[in-house]
Structure 1
């Protein structure tokens, strides 16, 4: 199976190079990886000390790593932190800003054996963390060959993952190479035990640490606060077309609210199309003035959304009707009840089902259900119970990063 895997990766590399001239995304994916070795050599010339390496798939996994990175830096301030990304979208978003506690950001090379060996030899990490699920065989084998400790954090395992399928025996090698696995839940522990892996413990979801930290010190947005005045606010985060099809009738029915909409797609065409269907006056944040009389504000930038939840009475988080539900824990960190579309694959988004059980998250399948749920949250007693549930659930899940660092 190892030979087959190596052959498949060889073919994939050739196919990607063949089609990259016809795809901007593919070209971007490959171009970013061309200078990895040179940048890594340059970094290692400037810093020869110990390194902790965190590998993440994309932005969501980076957010899960950040609390652990922060705690590790507190314990071991002499450690440099290197973070590798598989996804260009995650890399592009993070590399644009100064990242506290992160010293080096890079792409992960494709999982060819020679690429992996070279990457590990250049980086020379003291310890390594893979986050959630993005495990690459040759990189992990290169680490184990050099007896470098490797940990999997924020693991959330499902029966339909490659570790447990027809080819599970091969992919399970990635799990068994881990010195310890820190899971988000008991189900993951049970799945690991079912394949004979026992070096694991429940740490919880590090995203709770992250959202609690954000909620404790959000960005100051005095212009937004002044615009809101005393009116109730609904923040719509990461909205897709399918979400807005449900939400626009609700927005039109509630002119006494302030509506803040952060689209997933920031193109003007998308926001302009929604604006024509919304009967209330709307403005884009980039051209908005406090003197404007709009009730709807489109956030046409990246980076504000997590702090906007501080103003929300209720939040709606999009994506469930499309490629996947976005982060519902961000508003819950502000003790804000959250509505979202019914997820297609509940096992991929366990926080959605758990939030419903806790009484602070509410899924809807259509416009009628959205209206009904919103009306329930307009009832003060029901609303206050949902707020308390959010507060209780987030508080009970704090400390995952501490548990990971203490164990290590």
Structure 2
């Protein structure tokens, strides 16, 4: 099975090389890995390394509060943070928090051996998922403890399939699993893995810490001062079409802030076309304008979204009319109702927030409108939704402290 796995990895990276001829994201990943071992040799030599691996940017957000804690508690050690995806590496390659930032090499046996010989980490921490079996095997053979943090499991994964023996065998090499929920623990226990504890999701710590210092800006203060606002984050064109049908029904009483997932000019122009009957402006063009004169503000820059959800009376989080829901905790931490589309099955926090009746999956604009109208007529009900959202966040904060204590033991 390992031979077939290695063939699969080889073919996967061959496909990436071919795709890099026309796909800029694939090209960044190929280019970024070219001199990876020379880079690691120069940056990791004679250092005590804690290795933290993240698939992409979302996993880094889960890792960030843990990295801060590790740096505080282990000031003499260096944090190496690796990424698989250019989406994470390109955004965080100059982040001052980790001491070293790199791509992870392709998961071939010789690469895993070379990587671990150079880096020689004291411990390895994998965030949420990504199972690179050659790296796992080499860590195990070298007696380097490695952990999965904020991991979450579903019955459909190959580990739990009747023919998934080889995959289960690799998982058992892990030193300890720190999972998000009881279901994940039970699934692992069911395949003979007992080194499991439920600690929750470190993203709660991340978003809670961010919310303690609310971002203020005259642009957003003035834009939102006259009417309640719906902050729409990480939207795709499918989401924006729903919002474009909703807005004529509420435009007299509400404003929109739209922070799309893609901020290229073509996509921004599509949004402007959808909302052409209304007064629309891009954030980048707001400098010499009066924010209160506009109905819709399009955020065409990176890094603002998680700071501005608190300006909303409601939030809409995109992705669930397309491939899958984006981060809803960034909105939930501010205690406001959240709307999203129907594709959220793989997202534990979305299930929990819908059970709390603070987040609402919708199929069309009419369902959003009905909720807004109901809360306008029943403000006490709206306040109860907000209170439940706050309770949900506070209940789940503390995963980083639990992991820190566990790692010490």
Tell me which of 356, 359, 362 is aligned to 1:358.
Answer: 356
1:228 Cα deviation after fit: 2.0
CA distance in 2, matches of 1:132, 1:322: 22
1:114 Cα deviation after fit: 0.5
1:310 Cα deviation after fit: 1.7
Tell me which of 212, 219, 222 is aligned to 2:215.
Answer: 219
Q: Measured at CA, do residues 29 and 298 of structure 1 come closer, stay the same or move farther in structure 2, by a change above 3 Å?
A: same
TM-score, with length taken from structure 2: 0.94
Contact 2:121–2:144 under 8 Å retained in 1: yes
- SS of the residue corresponding to residue 9 of structure 1 reads helix
Q: Which residue of 1 aligns with 2:164?
A: 168
Q: Measured at CA, do residues 218 and 119 of structure 1 come closer, stay the same or move farther in structure 2, by a change above 3 Å?
A: farther
Q: Over residues 369-393 of structure 1, what are the superposed CA-to-partner deviations in whole Å (9 max), with x where a residue is unaligned?
A: 2221222333311210110001000
Q: How does 1:1-400 map to 2 (within 5 A)?
A: 1-45=1-45, 48-96=46-94, 98-100=95-97, 102-165=98-161, 167-255=163-251, 256-278=253-275, 279-288=277-286, 289-292=288-291, 293-343=293-343, 346=345, 348-378=346-376, 379-400=378-399
- SS of the residue corresponding to residue 319 of structure 1 reads coil
CA distance in 2, matches of 1:11, 1:394: 42
1:213 Cα deviation after fit: 0.7
- SS of the residue corresponding to residue 286 of structure 1 reads helix
TM-score, with length taken from structure 1: 0.94
Q: Which runs of 5+ in 2 are unaligned?
A: none
CA distance in 2, matches of 1:15, 1:355: 39
CA distance in 2, matches of 1:94, 1:322: 26
CA distance in 2, matches of 1:356, 1:263: 23
1:78 Cα deviation after fit: 1.5
1:18 Cα deviation after fit: 4.4
1:202 Cα deviation after fit: 0.3
1:203 Cα deviation after fit: 0.2
Cα RMSD (Å): 1.6
CA distance in 2, matches of 1:27, 1:200: 38
Q: Over residues 96-141 of structure 1, what are the superposed CA-to-partner deviations in whole Å (9 max), with x where a residue is unaligned?
A: 5x343x1111111110101111111111111110111111001111
Q: Over residues 148-192 of structure 1, what are the superposed CA-to-partner deviations in whole Å (9 max), with x where a residue is unaligned?
A: 110100011001112122542122233211111000000000001
Q: Measured at CA, do residues 281 and 43 of structure 1 come closer, stay the same or move farther in structure 2, by a change above 3 Å?
A: same
Larger CA deviation: 179-188 vs 164-173:
164-173
CA distance in 2, matches of 1:170, 1:328: 35
Larger CA deviation: 366-375 vs 317-326:
366-375
- SS of the residue corresponding to residue 81 of structure 1 reads strand
- SS of the residue corresponding to residue 21 of structure 2 reads helix
Contact 2:241–2:274 under 8 Å retained in 1: no
Larger CA deviation: 104-113 vs 274-283:
274-283
Q: Measured at CA, do residues 17 and 356 of structure 1 come closer, stay the same or move farther in structure 2, by a change above 3 Å?
A: closer
Q: Measured at CA, do residues 18 and 253 of structure 1 come closer, stay the same or move farther in structure 2, by a change above 3 Å?
A: closer
CA distance in 2, matches of 1:303, 1:22: 27
1:237 Cα deviation after fit: 0.3
Q: Measured at CA, do residues 276 and 15 of structure 1 come closer, stay the same or move farther in structure 2, by a change above 3 Å?
A: closer
- SS of the residue corresponding to residue 393 of structure 1 reads helix
Q: Measured at CA, do residues 208 and 27 of structure 1 come closer, stay the same or move farther in structure 2, by a change above 3 Å?
A: same
- SS of the residue corresponding to residue 284 of structure 2 reads coil
Larger CA deviation: 228-237 vs 116-125:
228-237
CA distance in 1, matches of 2:272, 2:22: 34
CA distance in 2, matches of 1:20, 1:391: 44
CA distance in 1, matches of 2:61, 2:304: 15
CA distance in 2, matches of 1:68, 1:355: 24
Alignment coverage as a number of residue pairs: 402
